[in-house]
Amino acid sequence: MFMRRIAPALAVSFVLSLSGGAAMAADLIHKTSPHSVSVTIDRLAAAVEGAGAKVFARVDHAAGAASVGGELRPTQMLMFGNPKLGTPAMQAVQTAGLDLPLRVLAYADGEGVVHVVYHDPAELAATHGIPADAEVIAKMTGALGNLTDKAIAAD
């Protein structure tokens, strides 16, 4: 019983030690942006709205940290979606609504490099039992790729 509880913690510690302290989930898509976090999220929001989708929320995690006296490098999350994509996923398996609308995080690392990160829609499929080859998953994958590419494009 003890080993079943401690083994996951040991595995995480091992991964953290190998990665220099930051564990990265295998299902995360990573890109870098030549723009600031704020500009990257502005550009993503414009791309989302330009594609006919809706921005539901923009969360400034650094501002939240500052509101309680904490410090956090620039970190913002945009939550957005399009019922044309989300509805079929939830019709297939309603629990997909737990991971929808989609979210993209932009943050500045310790060297000031801005990262754009989001979950691979294939993971949403795996988590909720949606067939990996479902058309809706391919559409989400394409949409996230195109939208984030627009956000990070150099002008």
Each domain of the chain, given as residue ranges in start order, spans: 25-152
What would the pLDDT profile of 70-103 be if each residue is shown by its tens digit?
999 999 999 999 998 899 999 999 999 999 999 9
Share of the chain above pLDDT 90, in %: 77
Token pair for 55: 């921005």
Distant-in-sequence, close-in-space partners of 48: CB < 8 Å, separation ≥ 6? 54, 55, 78, 80, 147
pTM: 0.83
Would you state the CATH architecture of domain 25-152?
Answer: 2-Layer Sandwich (3.30)
Q: Which of 64, 46, 63, 65 is nearest to 55 (CA)?
A: 46
Parallel/antiparallel/unpaired status of strands 28-33 and 54-60: unpaired
